[in-house]
Homo-oligomer: A and B are copies of this chain.
């Protein structure tokens, strides 16, 4: 049974019934127009202003000739203009492509080339980066720059001020399909090159509804206040922090960076209701003098991510935020987080678990042959549900592998217990998670191996209180007589010259050989076991 809709203009039908993330902001503005949507440093931006700016920016991009479903790359730090740019793209049917600002210039250049980007939106602070990469990117013809004092050109391309793009706030009227791509977020490239993850309006909107339900956002008489210090170019901050709070008419606070004392001051002054921080950030808060003197009673939920925390730290957080539950949430770029999320009771009984599936996610464990495994058996964690990505950009082979056997393959290894709680064991690949960033061990190894002084390299993550995991390199010198300490120093300097700061190993060990399989593959798990010990 399908209705006969032949008498209706397709655009009008789309406007009346679609599932678009751009409309999310329209609706919150409808009810909460005068309320503060975003606190950017000390600037308070209302829903009405944010929505008008987003409509105007989207309209301006279309007027500038950006085509339906074309990528718009962001080199933008956390700010209200990031949100306005994002919603402008959503409203206009364009693909927001926020670039990871911690990447090395060659990775940024690779992403801009791979995505076919023609237009970049940048904060002034990233213009030197653009100067460096644009010469090799002839396709990029338009550069939009936030701020007032903008050079006329960057690397020979004309620039335009963000405010001069966003001039006409008349609502954009374009057809946006539920499964149109909303954003493209590149993975940090576990094995080789970063992959562009395409996610639809439908996936993100479902993920955001599911997240709001999970974390207990209220809407109406009460609303949430959520300080965001994680970068908005990541799915965590964008899809599980910013969007759910704006869906429900709350206030997102964007402090300038993370500094414990200042952060606690923001929590107290803004009456924050939810926090989401990395374990090392909670550790820093607990070590801060303000933790004992500030009124932190407004906080209802302290979410942590990336890695389980020691029980003492969880207990200390619960004591410091007397009205709050402390829960772990997990997810990944390919499956709009949070995919699995602890319940309060899990902190007492299963604190080291990841918790069970969120409401629109089906989680299972699969063997390499595509068979689902019973509780207790270890295999690859796989997901089903509407918030799974649409697919990788420009990479059919990766898509075929990711969706094998009718499930999305997470690349994580673990098991379910008999209550459906996910227990994570290890990564299928050997990504190192350090300080909230994903580091490709292969990428660091590639840089190390570019040095003529070594012949073999393996990079692993070693458990570390401060970083979660410390990037650790293990190398074999070309000349066995080389002084190990001096070699390590030279290699570290080499890494600093070719890698982003977070990718540089915290430590380099020199060995005479590496453990290998019969076929010559380096056995990283053996190295990990050794370094853990």
Which residues of A are in contact with B by a Cβ distance under 8 Å? 1-9, 11-13, 15-19, 23, 26-27, 30-31, 69-71, 95, 115-116, 178-179, 181, 184, 196, 198, 202-203, 205-206, 209-210, 212-214, 217, 219-221, 247-248, 343-345, 356-357, 359-363, 383-386, 388, 390-397, 399-400, 403, 405-408, 419-420
Contact = CB atoms under 8 A, between A and B. Distances in A.
B115 A1 contact: yes
28 contacts: A1-B69, A1-B95, A1-B115, A1-B196, A2-B69, A3-B395, A7-B396, A8-B399, A8-B400, A12-B405, A12-B406, A13-B406, A15-B384, A16-B403, A16-B408, A17-B386, A27-B359, A27-B360, A30-B362, A30-B363, A31-B357, A178-B386, A202-B202, A209-B209, A213-B213, A213-B219, A219-B359, A220-B345
A406 B247 CA distance: 23
A129 to B, nearest CB: 22
Contacts of A31: 356-357, 419-420
Given A7-B400, A399-B4, A30 B420 contact: yes
Contacts of A9: 406
A11 B407 CA distance: 11
A1 B184 contact: yes
Contacts of A115: 1
Contacts of A2: 69, 181, 198, 390
A115 B1 CA distance: 8
Contacts of A26: 362
A378 to B, nearest CB: 18
Closest 8 CB pairs of A and B: A3-B391, A12-B406, A220-B343, A7-B400, A19-B386, A4-B396, A15-B406, A31-B420
Contacts of A361: 27
Contact of A23 (B3, B209, B343, B384): B384
Nearest to A213: B213
Contacts of A205: 206, 360, 386
A375 to B, nearest CB: 11
A386 B21 CA distance: 11
A394 B1 CA distance: 9
Given A7-B400, A178-B178, A403-B13, A30 B359 contact: no
Contacts of A198: 1-3
A388 B213 contact: no
A434 B71 CA distance: 54
A184 B205 CA distance: 25
Nearest to A9: B406
A231 to B, nearest CB: 22
Contacts of A247: 359
A202 B19 contact: yes
Contacts of A419: 31
Given A7-B399, A392-B3, A357 B12 contact: no
Contacts of A7: 396-397, 399-400
Nearest to A19: B386
